[in-house]
Chains A and B, each alone.
Chain A
Amino acid sequence: MELREFINFPGLTFPGLKITLLKPDIFFKQWYSWYSKIHSSHLESPLEVFHNHVYRLGIPDSHIVLMLADDMACNYRNPKPATVFSHKNMELNVYGDDVEVDYRGYEVTVENFLRVLTGRLPPSTPRSKRLLSDDRSNILIYLTGHGGNGFLKFQDSEEISNMELADAFEQMWQKRRYNELLFIIDTCQGASMYERFYSPNLMALASSQVGEDSLSHQPDLGIGVHLMDKYTFYLLEFLEEVHPASQANMNDLFKVCPQSQCVSTPGHRTDLFQRDPGSVLITDFFGSVRKVEITKDTINLTSPVEPPIKRSGSSDIQIESLTYVDQLPVAEIIHQKPKQKDWHPPDGFILGLWTLILLVFFQTYGIKHLKHIF
């Protein structure tokens, strides 16, 4: 057995990567209440990250848990229904045919998010809504929305605090639900969210420090809201250059969006991470390349006693012609005669017409004929 394939990834079989993406705000409420502030619309960010990059770098849908709090694609104010564009020139529809949103709308709550992370879901939850990671999985979590010092807003009425998040990660570690975890957050004062982490193998990136706001990038004048946050925009620009065999490492990721571009100061935290960030590849978290081994041994099996049924040539097989079943034989169901229509007196038009004809008649032939009629 070749052991070479294990040497590059110490302690890793395959970076089976799962992503949780979150966009916790209600879009249009925010448009009215925050119109004067420069905040983004947020929905395009996780969709961009998802559609363009993570998918391209090899993570299948079954390994992605996508939570979108808004349904902007189908909102009645969207001038182009069922589409969400990340750039104002509308070249790329990030809400394509194959986007699989696992939690949408009102299902995006703090409780559901924590349940997905810790695994405490009711038994009836389907596989696509669960985080089925094991002790060899690397997890990438990307959150965006509105936040403050120590909290992140969900659905305008709930918050998740940094302590809850830290406790959730500790429970994940206790059950070995991850090997390494990368946490990216793009909100105001995002660095406060990772201050309280205390579990091993966590690395965190935030778009702004405590006391700073994260700003949005470009507005779409057609719908009147901003399409993306600055940090996410530059992060995506960075990810464009990453391909499955890329050797870019985390130190490059930390340099994304310096203060000159982002106005806010991005922060990161690596003290809980056991490996040196310079040796961690971007594709460890953003992509997924499976380890494969060649199968060297086989088992010799004898054929079973009955040979499999040999099918003769297709001409011998009788195939019935297939038709659609007449599912609603109307003629058999309805046996009644057509209903007699009720008599209605002639309406105004007919009356008027006849009056006109009579008048013309008597005008022509004189009034003396009237006595013959009446």
Chain B
Amino acid sequence: MAALQLEKQRGRYAALAIAAVVIVVGIPLWWKTTETYRAWLPFSEISELDSLQVHALRPSSRQNHVCDSIGSAMIYNRVFDKADLSLHMLSESSCGSVVVYVIPESSTLLPEDVKVYVGQRRTALLRSPPFKTSWNLKEVLSNLDVEVEQVVSTMSFGHQDIVAALSNRVRMTKVTKESMADSMRAIKSSPGYEITFSLLNPDPKSHSLHWDIEGAVQSYIQPLLNKLAPIANFSVDSQILYYAVLGVNPRFDNSVSAYTLSADSLSHVINPVEARLGSNAASSNPVLNFLLYVPDAHHSPLFIRDHSKRKVPSNAFHSPRWGGIMVYNVNEMYGPEAERPVDININMAKVMGVFLAQLRLMLGVQHTHPPTGFVLQSPGSAGLADWELDRLLWSRSVENIATASTTITSLAQLLDQIGNIVINDNIAQQVSSAVTSLQSAVAELEAGNLAFALQYSREAILASERAFFDPSLLHLLYFPDDQKFAIYIPLFLPMCVPIVLSLLKIVSEAKKRRADKQAKSD
């Protein structure tokens, strides 16, 4: 009897020990080993980013030099662009700032009808409105406020530009059609762009075309790309395609005895050609294509007509976010008796002038419509005035900050929602660096340091894109609950049944013993 009792006791202890091991060791072990590795992410900071407010400071300084002290020769010759250059040397204008020089009303530096001359760099010459000699400096300056404000809003960014930059995240109700079209035309911010120049020669039997593309890119395009280096990396390619035709048949117009392409048929030109254009398979950067089409001898000359049937002086058209096509007629360069194929050198200056203008539009350099009395200096060979560049940098910074913050917040939301995704350490590191870069970018923007703000925003967007598009973040682990049960039940149920039953037996025996003891003591 005692031995039986001892056996039973041992059995009870064994069952309890097994149950203890299962609960204390087994369950935590199972939990730990089936956990997905999720590195720590700064969720609180990310949720702060969600309601980020950016105050961009637009620095401008007013110089009140009375400009009679500029070289008298310049005044006599009214060479105001050289004056602008020397004024620029006077004061170092930092990136993003606008310097306005006020000249007296009677000065002959600017022609009569010109009120403001906006230079190639960041300076502008403003002719002051008449003021009374009795006014002191403060009153004079405050009188100028309106004019200066006008100058600065032309040269620098405004509310409309910022909203247009954020067009894919902000409702476009309060934006003019003009800036909406601008935002649709400009290619989205990206760390790099590929620019491809293609020469289409449909008739190699008649024309043997030579174009010095390397020299042209070096002299004309590269200065612009160097100036835009803070925004993105650019890579330039070129190619020549033979027997490449436009997909549209031009119509012969008797009135000008030339072939014409109407504006409506232009939309159908690009798609058949695009199949023939290659691209750099290794990079997934957006591509901007610039095509130069030399019509074949039978369809020369070829002109493009706009919607009002007028001839287009540049003979070129462009498609938003894709690139541009220019038609270059060569029929005047040779006579009918020339030996075929005719050697033709393409005038790269003319071609690049058109392509550069199209490139500016594609990259988001907005059209400026200055008020009357303003004269804007042409950007010349650099392709871009400094203040235009600043405007582009402002809108790019804001766009980058917006995109990066949305990416990070949606990534955090996604990772929160789907508990099964593994978060590796490198992703956590990218997210943290993106958050810190974003915060720095916002701080720099508020302080008005445009160059630093752009740099931080670029870092932020690179890090956030890398984190979001990391190939390891794939949630192919969608298990509905019934599938989870189906997996675990055959493994754990046979093991748990004896343990639970023996525990129950122990409990019921203990209760019975207590009831017996109770009955005995009573």
Residues of chain A having any CB pair with chain B under 8 Å: 1-4, 6, 11-14, 16, 58-62, 110-111, 114-115, 118-122, 126-128, 130, 132, 134-136, 161, 163-164, 167, 171, 174-176, 244, 288-304, 306, 308-311, 313-314
Query: Inside 8 A of B343's CB, which chain A residues have their CB?
Result: 311, 313-314
Q: Once the chains are docked, how many angstroms separate the CA of A163 from the CA of B478?
A: 8
Partner pick for B320 among A58, A161, A167, A293, CB 8 A cutoff: A293
Residues of chain B having any CB pair with chain A under 8 Å: 168-169, 172, 177-178, 180-181, 184-185, 188, 210, 212, 215-216, 219-220, 263, 266-272, 274-275, 279-284, 286, 304, 306-307, 312-314, 316-322, 324, 326, 343, 345, 348-350, 352-354, 356-358, 360-361, 367, 378-379, 381, 383, 406-407, 410, 413-414, 418, 468-471, 473-476, 478, 480
Inter-subunit contact A310/B345 (CB<8 Å): yes
For residue A295, which residue of chain B has the nearest CB?
A: B316
For residue B271, which residue of chain A has the nearest CB?
A: A58
Query: Inside 8 A of B326's CB, which chain A residues have their CB?
Result: 295
Inter-subunit contact A2/B307 (CB<8 Å): yes
Inter-subunit contact B282/A126 (CB<8 Å): yes
State the majority secondary structure of interface residues on A. loop
Q: Once the chains are docked, how many angstroms separate the CA of A61 from the CA of B276?
A: 10
For residue A176, which residue of chain B has the nearest CB?
A: B168
Q: Once the chains are docked, how many angstroms separate the CA of A314 from the CA of B268?
A: 38
Task: For residue A53, give the distance in angstroms from its CB to the closest CB of chain B.
Answer: 14
Q: Once the chains are docked, how many angstroms separate the CA of A110 from the CA of B313?
A: 53
Partner pick for B410 among A111, A120, A175, CB 8 A cutoff: A175
Inter-subunit contact B357/A294 (CB<8 Å): no
Contacts A13-B321, A120-B469, A164-B476; is A291 near B210 (CB within 8 Å)? no
For residue A289, which residue of chain B has the nearest CB?
A: B267
Q: Which 9 A-B pairs have the closest CB atoms?
A: A174-B410, A308-B212, A13-B184, A295-B316, A135-B168, A126-B281, A13-B320, A304-B219, A292-B266
Inter-subunit contact A115/B471 (CB<8 Å): yes
Q: Once the chains are docked, how many angstroms separate the CA of A126 from the CA of B406?
A: 27
Task: For residue A110, give the distance in angstroms from its CB to the closest CB of chain B.
Answer: 7
Task: For residue A35, give the distance in angstroms from its CB to the closest CB of chain B.
Answer: 31
Q: List 15 A-B contacts (CB under 8 A).
A: A6-B177, A13-B184, A60-B272, A62-B279, A120-B470, A127-B283, A161-B480, A163-B478, A163-B480, A292-B318, A294-B316, A295-B312, A302-B349, A308-B212, A308-B215
Task: For residue A202, give the distance in angstroms from its CB to the closest CB of chain B.
Answer: 17
Query: Inside 8 A of B468's CB, which chain A residues have their CB?
Result: 175
Query: Inside 8 A of A11's CB, which chain B residues have their CB?
Result: 172
Query: Inside 8 A of A2's CB, which chain B residues have their CB?
Result: 306-307
Task: For residue B323, give the distance in angstroms from its CB to the closest CB of chain A.
Answer: 10
Inter-subunit contact B357/A1 (CB<8 Å): no
Query: Inside 8 A of B322's CB, which chain A residues have their CB?
Result: 14, 290
Query: Inside 8 A of B177's CB, which chain A residues have their CB?
Result: 3, 6
Inter-subunit contact B279/A127 (CB<8 Å): yes
Inter-subunit contact B354/A295 (CB<8 Å): yes
Partner pick for B314 among A60, A163, A244, A295, CB 8 A cutoff: A295
Inter-subunit contact A120/B353 (CB<8 Å): no
Inter-subunit contact A308/B345 (CB<8 Å): yes
Inter-subunit contact A164/B478 (CB<8 Å): yes
Query: Inside 8 A of B272's CB, which chain A residues have their CB?
Result: 60
Task: For residue B326, give the distance in angstroms from its CB to the closest CB of chain A.
Answer: 8
Task: For residue B261, give the distance in angstroms from its CB to the closest CB of chain A.
Answer: 11
